[in-house]
Structure 1
């Protein structure tokens, strides 16, 4: 029987590396388990009195809702959410964080250098709906172009990406929701992985085509048309096809060249997390994030509701008081936002997360922030804001994966790394997604969806540092054009989901 895993000497729980059946005695206390416990779940290392703190990762993840005996299963039935430590010692670990930036040899990848100086990892033509009314038009146009064989003669064009959504009208033009959609659409149309874009609207919506065209300032990269001005659905689809045909030769002229790894902006995501996420894939990705920072690049952590309870760890390595203040402000906003809608910051973990061994949002968050590594927090961004500061950064987003990733991509991320323990069928455009499995069973079960198995950190003793090196090599290879599993499966067309904030009017 493998030894239960103790993550920190302060912990009064440990993690089971594999399922134990009823009758097993994992701590050798002579008290066999009354029922089976799944892998990734927790048992008490010692007796824990009712009301006492339950520690994992050296941090409180909740309080005992009843007296818990040594060796007893610790989960939702006896571990309750409770408030967490807000001893925000801003910058207390900044020196250690700076020392955590590893010296790295210069590395390159084969990317597309744009006229703006940005570097792309893919070369798409984007069709961007400014309003839900034009969603069907751009989807049909993209499907017809892809099916027509028109792209066959243009090997340097990765495809047509249709960015359709459910808003764009019935909204306050002076509100935050409008600003968010504006940033998302502009960020995708001018993304470094996009060679050219067409904005398509109905004509009378709040999010006007003229706004986007004026912002573009002319040029050959961004174009626009409306269904009302073009003459209806079929005429607009035909007009889009004609415009794409006209644009293809120029977009195809882009060629990959050697580019410094410092040009990379890597988004960090997790979804379908389990009890192994914070033990294998997330810390391995964290070490890989440190390496990307060491190369001069940028990593973007997000999902504000899923760092709740661990924000103090990020604040301890904030590069300035201003950066820390932005993060604290976003945490406060989320508490007010969820309360206003009758919710709680502990509406997470999901049922699947709990089946995988996660009990409270505090536990989930402590594992999730491991993706961000150990280097200084250099900047905090609003949703879909352009990410310009190198190093480890944070973007305020919801925890819902498609919404969160949409914001990161709009901010300029050219590659996503997505860890999962329960399984995920996520993909994204125009930035490819690399999926990392937290355990062997998932990697075997969904091998066509997973790019990297981090389960061997647990099962075969692969050092986290070696796994981090593997992840970095995968990032560079993907950035150079190697297709990811999600790209092979054709995923990414339905994961463009801008965050809708504010009244629908």
Structure 2
């Protein structure tokens, strides 16, 4: 356990590790204490970075979290800084052992609730927005103008409405009709229209785009589907710029449509519901060497609590699961679920190879400055967000998430695109861990930002909701996880996150579309 491997300077995450993580900046020549005995720091070690606690010969594996994170590219002495200059990724050919270590179901947690918006289709929202959805980039500005130009003093008369948001993007045309990108975009927009945090929606298109509105409505049955265009949610209302006569006419018609929709959107009120209605997306961005030490495992505790309540936790960023996928395949409830994850990993290998890219290129300069060296190291820390329960399903990007329990959605590691997919899949809360200091929001879903270290939390207090850096100061992982779980319930009940307080989240709707632009 982490708590048993503290010293005043180092955190050793597993007894098999031959490196430890610096809790604070360690000056050169400092005497370090570990389970291996005393070693002298041969270099200055930045906070969150790795130091060898025993000699590692060139070609030997470097172990952190009890797992291989790479190979020494030269001899590394005990007490030496371990990073990109002496550590490289290797293909370890992990044994997937599908479903060989499926954990038992957690002890159920009864009686936990939050105050949510119950929709007629049984889904529960944590917010109540009115959405203006652009079907194509050609109508993106008009969608934004409709949302921005609606009089704020008039909107203030509807206290149960959190706001009017424009979901705009840079796609919707230049793609094969019915192809993968087209279907993904339509699935994503349908997910947003049907999202439990959206109380009403308006579709705005140019009129001739590939992602034609009629196709969207027909394929996803947005006209008849329960909870959309039903008793509690007005829609679909469709505006075609070409049919309306152009930009200004469409803006005026859109504002008029919203004016008629608002009273119905405002009619719904929060009510007490079971925490089993939580669907929480798990994201990490701007990660550092402490992400896998503090915030991510603490969020893993909270994820376990959500599952124990009967809710859903969505792990994401497949390109940041690579190198740690064997830990999840062993927890898959069936070999078939494990195979779905393996298939996605293999797809990613082939996909990036088409562009001459390797998955190990994933750690960003900021990640590396924060102490992360290889994708295996980053991924092993990232999957800690998934806690310890069984993996019950694997979803494609923006697919509707129906399963209860821990699931994985195939998304890229780029935060806005990843979160957009999870929200479209139904996530009604996002938990976002960060070590470098990501400033993020994603309307219509609130984003709870969790800091991995206290110096960054203090420096960026206006953006951070929770400080998990307290784990480095003696708080247990379990205690930090319980704090995160309680914050999830509070935010689901209406407590505004820091990003919501600052109005962040209108620009982070970023669809991930794979395929050629025609």
2:467 is the counterpart of 1:463: no
Unaligned stretches of 5+ residues in structure 2:
1-6
Asked if 2 retains the 8 angstrom alpha-carbon contact of 1:27 and 1:71, the reply is no
Distance 1:206 1:446, change over 3 A: same
Q: Distance in 2 between matches of 1:227 and 1:478?
A: 38
Match of 2:216 in 1: 212
Query: How much does 1:35 deviate?
Result: 3.6
SS for the counterpart of 1:238 is helix
Asked if 2 retains the 8 angstrom alpha-carbon contact of 1:436 and 1:452, the reply is yes
Aligned partner of 1:50 among 37, 58, 62: 58
Asked if 2 retains the 8 angstrom alpha-carbon contact of 1:302 and 1:395, the reply is yes
Query: How much does 1:5 deviate?
Result: 1.3
Q: Distance in 2 between matches of 1:391 and 1:27?
A: 40
Query: How much does 1:348 deviate?
Result: 1.7
Q: How does 1:91-240 map to 2 (within 5 A)?
A: 91-94=99-102, 97-99=103-105, 101-145=106-150, 147-214=151-218, 215-217=221-223, 219=229, 220-240=234-254
Q: Distance in 2 between matches of 1:259 and 1:31?
A: 54
Match of 1:77 in 2: 85
Match of 2:456 in 1: 442
1:5-35 CA-to-partner distances (Å, cap 9, x unmatched) read: 1111111111110001233232498875454
2:496 is the counterpart of 1:483: yes
Aligned partner of 1:271 among 285, 302, 319: 285
Number of corresponding residues: 500
SS for the counterpart of 1:325 is helix
Unaligned stretches of 5+ residues in structure 1:
none
Taking structure 2 as the reference length, the TM-score comes to: 0.95
Q: Distance in 2 between matches of 1:217 and 1:24?
A: 68
Query: How much does 1:138 deviate?
Result: 0.7
Match of 1:62 in 2: 70
Query: How much does 1:148 deviate?
Result: 3.7
Q: Distance in 2 between matches of 1:33 and 1:261?
A: 48
Q: Distance in 2 between matches of 1:45 and 1:315?
A: 31
Aligned partner of 2:257 among 243, 246, 249: 243
1:353-378 CA-to-partner distances (Å, cap 9, x unmatched) read: 11111110000000000000010000
Aligned partner of 1:408 among 393, 399, 422: 422
SS for the counterpart of 2:283 is strand
Taking structure 1 as the reference length, the TM-score comes to: 0.97
SS for the counterpart of 1:299 is strand
Match of 2:96 in 1: 88
Asked if 2 retains the 8 angstrom alpha-carbon contact of 1:209 and 1:225, the reply is no
SS for the counterpart of 1:216 is coil
Asked if 1 retains the 8 angstrom alpha-carbon contact of 2:393 and 2:406, the reply is yes
Q: Distance in 2 between matches of 1:13 and 1:213?
A: 55
2:336 is the counterpart of 1:322: yes
Asked if 1 retains the 8 angstrom alpha-carbon contact of 2:11 and 2:23, the reply is yes
Q: Distance in 1 between matches of 2:352 and 2:423?
A: 25
SS for the counterpart of 1:228 is helix
SS for the counterpart of 1:266 is strand
Aligned partner of 1:423 among 437, 444, 452: 437
Aligned partner of 2:13 among 7, 12, 17: 7
Asked if 2 retains the 8 angstrom alpha-carbon contact of 1:438 and 1:454, the reply is yes
- Range 305-314 or range 206-215, more displaced: 206-215
1:160-211 CA-to-partner distances (Å, cap 9, x unmatched) read: 1110000100001132111110111010111000001111000010111112
Q: Distance in 2 between matches of 1:390 and 1:98?
A: 15
Match of 1:297 in 2: 311
Q: Distance in 2 between matches of 1:305 and 1:30?
A: 38
2:412 is the counterpart of 1:398: yes
Stretches (4+) displaced over 6 A: 28-31
- Range 16-25 or range 442-451, more displaced: 16-25
Match of 1:473 in 2: 486
Distance 1:46 1:490, change over 3 A: same
